[in-house]
Structure 1
Amino acid sequence: MSAYKAFKACVPVEWSERLYITLVRGTPGTRALHRRTLEALHLTKCNRTVSRKNTPTLRGMLNQVKRLVAIETKEMYEARKQQEANHRALRPPLVVSHDSAPKMESSQ
């Protein structure tokens, strides 16, 4: 599940030592307070992820910009990265043979 889909599905975030925060919406048109909060989180470009220690201060910052970011635990982040890696993995080539079908011998 992508970070944005997890955010939209309102997946409950379990307590975790570290949180992975991904910026899923752009900053143009947002309030200056929200832009400054994202700068403090070091989130400047869309689809960038940062890892931060789970503290009450961080939770307050995330509560301000919750519509702009997706929050994941370590397990959710690693599962998403593994799924993306599997999707990008090389696949064996498709071999198509244009030879005519082998003739069947009749044993009579």
Structure 2
Amino acid sequence: MNAYKAYKACAPIAWSPNLYITLVRGIPGTRKLHRRTLEALRLRKCNRTVMRWNTPTVRGMLQQVKRLVAIETEEMYNARKRKEANHCALRPPLVINHLPAPANNSS
């Protein structure tokens, strides 16, 4: 198990006021009940994230479609977004010099 999944497993979802839900599997081929649940959660396309309040109703809906979605707390979502932003940040250019190094003769 990688570190992200380990953190996800120990994060107390019930204590978070907001849940960030991402659809990670496709809708075609799923049950009609699951499709209607995803529609009620406003999840229409893969890799889209929505924010919902952490209520028993929403948690029950998520329990129904747990194999199709990834659930994150607000802290986990913000950490993931920061990591993605740092990964895509501009880096200074590499300067490569193809000229031979100058000879240092001290004699």
Same-fold call, TM > 0.5? yes
Query: What is the root-mean-square deviation of aligned Cα atoms in Å?
Result: 1.6
Shift of 1:100: 1.4
Rounded to whole Å, the distance in 2 between the matches of 1:64 and 1:43 is 14
Structure 1 runs (4+) greater than 3 angstroms displaced: none
- 2:23–2:46 contact (8 Å) kept in structure 1: yes
* Structure (1/2) with the larger helix percentage: 2
Worse overlay, 26-35 or 90-99: 90-99
Distance 2:90 2:70 in 1: 29
- Aligned partner (choices 10, 13, 16) of residue 12 of structure 1: 10
1:93-108 alignment runs, 5 A limit: 93-107=93-107
Structure 2 regions of 5+ residues with no counterpart? none
Q: What does 1:1-108 correspond to in 2, within 5 Å? A: 6=5, 11-14=9-12, 15-107=15-107
In structure 2, give the amino acid aligned to 1:12: C
Task: Give the TM-score, by structure 2 length.
Answer: 0.88
SS in structure 1 at match of 2:51: strand
Partners of 1:12 and 1:28 lie apart in 2 by 31
Contact 2:38 2:44 in 1 (8 A): yes
Structure 1 gap ranges (5+) = none
Identity %: 70
1:79: how far off? 0.6
2-structure distance, mates of 1:10, 1:92? 34
Q: Deviation of residue 9 (structure 1)?
A: 7.7
Conserved in 1, the CA contact under 8 Å of 2:8 and 2:72? no
Query: How many pairs were matched up?
Result: 102
Letter in 2 for 1:103: A
User: Which residue identity does 2:85 align to in structure 1?
Assistant: A
TM-score after normalising by structure 1: 0.88
Does the 8 Å CA contact 2:43/2:49 hold for their aligned counterparts? yes
1:41-74 Cα offsets, whole Å, 9 max, x none, are 0000000000000000001000000000000000
